[in-house]
Structure 1
Amino acid sequence: MRSSKRRRNALELHFTTLGPLKAWRAGRELRINRAQDRAVLAVLLAQAGRPVPVGEIIDGVWGEEGDEAPDRAGALPGNVYRLRSALDAGGPSILRHEAKGYRLDADPAGIDRTAFLTALADAATARRNWQPERARTLLSDALDLWTGRALDDVPGPFAAHERRLLAARRDEARRSRLELDLELRADTWTPAPARTPVRPVLRPFQLPPDLGDFTGRGEELAAVAETLTAPDRTGPPLVTVTGPRGAGKSAFAVHAAHLAGAAYPDGQLYADLHGRDAPTVPAVLAAFVRALGVEERAVPPDPADRRTLYHRLLADRRVLVVLDGAATADRAGPLLPVAPGCAALVTADGPGPLPLGAPGERVACHAVSLGRMTPGEAQALLGRVLGTDRLAREPTAARTLAAVCDHLPGPLRAAADRLVRRPAWPVAALVPRTGGPGGT
């Protein structure tokens, strides 16, 4: 109970150090009149929440003066007493003796020095992740915290050191913001119709929903899982899935990607490359880097630059990339990750593996060729979609329907979906109309 009260008391306080050192409670300034008391407070604020040894406080306030200040150790308790009286105002003490030193339990969010340095670190991260607008906003907010010279009215060697350090970081922030101003105004970036809102680095999850009634392909799935989750690898695993139209390549790839999701905690990227209206490689690269957290106007217009940025963003991440319907190697190649922590799963129509690189170029490569389902798997799929009771009433018609669909999961699922939408129809009613509904 006492610690929770102390915490609430700390949250009510606010300290400004990027200018004259002041303490505030609920908008009211607390009077700390003595310069040495403010010097002690400055040392404690820089390490808020941690015990500061007595010797470190003395050196920061009075310096290493030896015999010139024989009473400084005796003076410190008086400084602490006055600070405690000013800060606590009758409430639970946030300044206490601990481990041969003193500890100030002040909330870091209520100290402008801490907020300033945290914003600079966040801005640097945003720049590394190609988020210039977020970085500029963070830098502007950090610079707005300043009201004058840091610790302007505080004596002692620690305050002098802090003034130099914080002034250097302030100059650094100003230079970075100027660089971002020039970068955001440059004609090389795609203009944004409106200001992109501030957002954190993203963990994309673009996979389509998994099929709850996915059936069969057990051996193939096991081989893919072994390839995608192999721990001893030096390059990104690559899986290619080929087969005729209707063989269920898309459903297989999505199902396998969902199963392997835990091995790729930084997300999954997905692109549908089927048909003439499919997005171009540069468009997919732009979509991928946006999904990874890059702001719209920071997406490079040049395709080569987009690809470089894409690989840079994946360098320290574990992301699974699924390319569904890559008709040629040219369509898939530029989108494949090169970071060893990532992996790719590519589907394409055709009888054999899609050539995506020279032999030995990738450490773990596995080719899957999907064909017809076995009659038993075809019946199991129909049963999962239609229900076993409905299937049991017309076993012969169900077997005929599977044969007409050439035991391919795409046409089978399309036919079963039609029957689901028409519960009054018998299975036999669809058999003469089925010519192998399409699907991949």
Structure 2
Amino acid sequence: MRPYRSAPVLAGCAALVLALTGTGTAHATAATHAAAVPGPRDLARQTLPAGDGWASEGAGTTGGAAAAPEHVYTVTTWARFKAALAADTGGAPRIIRVVGTLNATEGGCASFEADGYDFERYLADYDPAVWGRDTPVSGPQEELRAASAKKQAASIKAAVPARTTIVGVGDDAGITGGSLQIQHVDDVIVRNLTLESPLDCFPQWDPTDGATGAWNSEYDAMVVYGSTHVWIDHNTFTDGRYPDSSLPHYYGEVYQQHDGELDIVRGANHITASWNVFADHDKTLMIGNSDSAAATDAGKLKVTLHHNLFSGVVERAPRVRFGQVDAYNNHHVVRKGQPYAYTFGIGHESRLHAEKNSFSLPAGVSAARILKKWKEAPVTAVGNYVNGRPVDLIAVHNAEIPGETLTPGAGWTPTLRARVDDPRALPGLVTARAGAGRLR
């Protein structure tokens, strides 16, 4: 009945594993402790370099690099991963090494269903021919859907504490179906993971959403919510086995089971996202989630995006509200025939500085569409290249889309940049080095 089928956890286990008991308390042999001593290229002990984006501001970002051996955990299952996150370290830094792929929905959608929930009954009850399109859905099946969604949320959301480094071991470490929640904490590093977007098992039908209604889903692969000094590096964000093109349609609308890949919201500040891959997704990366959030967001949402690959994404790469966002040296690939709306979304009180990025656009897709004006806000876009040639993105946008005239000049100049490459080198450089499994 459900369109989602969970895959088995990939096999793989380190020879020495710091296990967790059922209560989440760490125990290890002397040999395992010895294995936790950092080597010269121990990714878990690396910290954000000085001057590398907004996350290097002030004291910088060190995550769990200084963790004592008893606070280093190696995990091979989602349950042990969550236990390692919840382990009481007394506020001391921790390192969590991920081996293989952790499956947050190993039991499938059926394991979250509340007693009495029936998707076929849901479809029959809220069919627009029966329910109409003027009133939000309500009643027993909607209540059971909400209860089922609550069970899924409790299972797949993983709260990341302060002073934590999460790092994938080797080339095949990752998480499927999980949502990393970095909320109201400081000093977090996440590196070298392939994050397959969680599938919402229980999207809600909203007949009042637009002219024809829409299915709305929850769960981002990663959320940075009210947190500071976060470094997100060399990860791959993808819809993986379940691209939007594979999702079914009900009531004539796509049964949307994806939300975002990365959201940075609600007063989050001093974030660097570097050398990541964002692939094959619709609403990809949102910075600031509400025009009415000035109380939490004004003066914050300072984010650096550099050397990231955005490939096959439809929109929000990123969409920005409020923040001073430095987007430089990213490579954006729009594939022939894919849905494409825009790349940079200029939102309420945003101050986006987009410099020395490169874009690969197919024939028929104009560079004027790279920028999208949602609200009046100044933007800097300089030194960018499209298909190997320099293009003034603001000028071409204003010339071809006069109803959305953009104002040049974001009013600030980024200074926290560890390296700046010629944008003509980015297609080769970023494609070869961005994403999980590329750190050595």
| TM-score strictly above 0.5 | no
- The structure richer in strand per residue is 2
Scaled to the shorter chain, the TM-score interval is under 0.3
- The structure richer in helix per residue is 1
Q: Which has the higher contact order (CA 8 A, sep 6+)?
A: 1
What's the TM-score once normalised by structure 1's chain length?
0.21
